Amino acid sequence: MRIEEDCIGKLAVDEDVLYGIHTTRALANFPISHERTDPLLFKSLIIIKKSAAQVNAAAGTLAVPKAKAIIAACNSLLMGEHNDALVAPAIQGSAGTSVNMNVNEVIANLASRHTTERVHPNDDVNQCQSTNDTYPTAGKMAALQALPPLQQALTFLVKSLLAKADEFADVVKVGRTQLQDAVPTTFGHTFQAYAHLFQRDQVRLTRAAEDLRVVNLGGTAIGTGLNASPYYREHIVRQVNRLIDLSLEQADDLVDATQNCDVLVAFSGAMKGLATDLSKFANDLRLLSSGPQAGLNELHLPAKQAGSSIMPGKVNPVIPEVVNQIAFQIIGQDVTISMAAEAGQLELNAFEPIIFRDLLQGERYLARGIDTLTTNCVTGLTVNQQQCADNVEHSAISATILSPYIGYEATMKLVKTSLEKHVAIPELLRRHHQLPDTLIAQLFSPAVMTNEEPVQKEAAGEKR
């Protein structure tokens, strides 16, 4: 054991660990779960520390040997060494101070091995910085780095949906509104509509992510830049961009950027919108594939596992089900993020740890959920074309197309008769000679019923 001291007092720290007293206290204070701070957030903080050492050395405020030692320590950590020393809990008090000090302590102890002078975690590694500007900057950097896999997953889903739209473009199905039969459509229309929905989600995520690039680095404690040299404030964001290409920008108003979390709420909102749309899509897949004997049975989803421990042969829509659950989680996390942003007071928000924890977890859950949805469900699903054709043939609501020819009330009576006698609408029309056979055939053709082709004038002119 070694004895270290802070403003609280002295504490024994395990001799074998690279972190120090601040991290040790955090581990004792926040035993909420076994979840550590996200690796991307740690990585981003280390990049900031390396950049700060380079800038401070150039400014002449940090001795070059110490700067080189800090840079070497950062490089070691960025290569994946000593990950076991980065242990700060994901959920913690003090606005991220435990994470920042965990990184400072580990870098300082590693750096001290490379120089004759002791490298201090605060005076040297944290020079010109505060948790209040490094931590939120690192959190935004992490969120930006977690975004490409999510965007790639969405692109894969959209392409797969468009492929299904082409594959089943001509398959007519009964439309449904409020879970009741409606006018016919095609699975081409259905899958294309889903693709366009998720394309809009991609746009919203991209727009929201642009605001994450604006950071308060250089603002130190409350945005005034106290204890940061003018050279540091001018060059730090530029240096971070040299080490990682995220196109970060220093906020015009560092005080505003330090205390307000609205851009994080907006990004969470875009994720919530995506989660909502994914859940709606998953619900539709489960409905359309329900059965196979007592449900809609219009879609066949790939069978992925046995669905019951008691009912032999039962197969459940497990992939849409897991996507629903991911969506519930993301929507709940959006509420947490909103409340955490709202609860920030005056010059700082103390609740950014839970915000970044939920944002980063949400990005990963969404990316993985969309990947499994596309790979294990969408790409392999098929349409039960016979079931769809039977439903359309016996759908009384398909009579809607007759209103311009025989009027709304006459059509309504025809629908009632069809439902009561279980006779298809076209057959009733033929029996009662209400329209010419050629017009009936054209009106109830797939292309006309789905409004993809107009009724030919010659046939329309034959109406009685």
Active site residue 308: yes
Please give the Cα distance from 195 to 188 (Å, whole number): 11
Q: CA gyration radius for the chain?
A: 31
Q: At what angle do helices 262-288 and 318-342 cross, to 10 degrees?
A: 160
pTM: 0.93
Q: How many beta carbons lie within 10 A of that of residue 374, not counting itself?
A: 21
CB proximity list for 28: less than 8 A, separation 6 or greater? none
Q: Which of these, 195, 139, 143, 146, lies nearest to 368 by C-alpha position?
A: 146
Query: Tens digit of pLDDT per residue, the chain (464 long)?
Result: 899 899 999 999 999 999 999 999 999 999 999 999 999 999 999 999 999 999 999 999 999 999 999 999 999 999 999 999 999 999 999 999 999 999 999 999 999 998 999 999 999 999 999 999 999 999 999 999 999 999 999 999 999 999 999 999 999 999 999 999 999 999 999 999 999 999 999 999 999 999 999 999 999 999 999 999 999 999 999 999 999 999 999 999 999 999 999 999 999 999 999 999 999 999 999 999 999 999 999 999 999 999 999 999 999 999 999 999 999 999 999 999 999 999 999 999 999 999 999 999 999 999 999 999 999 999 999 999 999 999 998 888 888 888 999 899 988 888 898 889 888 888 888 887 778 888 888 888 888 888 888 887 555 554 44
CATH superfamily of 2-127: Fumarase/aspartase (N-terminal domain) (1.10.275.10)
Burial 378-395 (b: 16+ CB within 10 A, else e): bbebebbeebbeebbebb
Q: Choosing from 33, 268, 308, 445, which is the catalytic residue?
A: 308
Q: Which of these, 185, 59, 265, lies nearest to 446 by C-alpha position?
A: 185
Q: Which of these, 149, 66, 152, lies nearest to 114 by C-alpha position?
A: 66
Q: Classify strands 249-250 and 214-215 as parallel, antiparallel or unpaired.
A: parallel
Burial 23-55 (b: 16+ CB within 10 A, else e): bbbbbeebeeeeebbbebbbbbbbbbbbbbbbb
Distance, C-alpha 86 to centroid of its chain: 26
Query: Which amino acid type is present at position 221?
Result: A
Reported CATH class of domain 143-215+256-385: mainly alpha
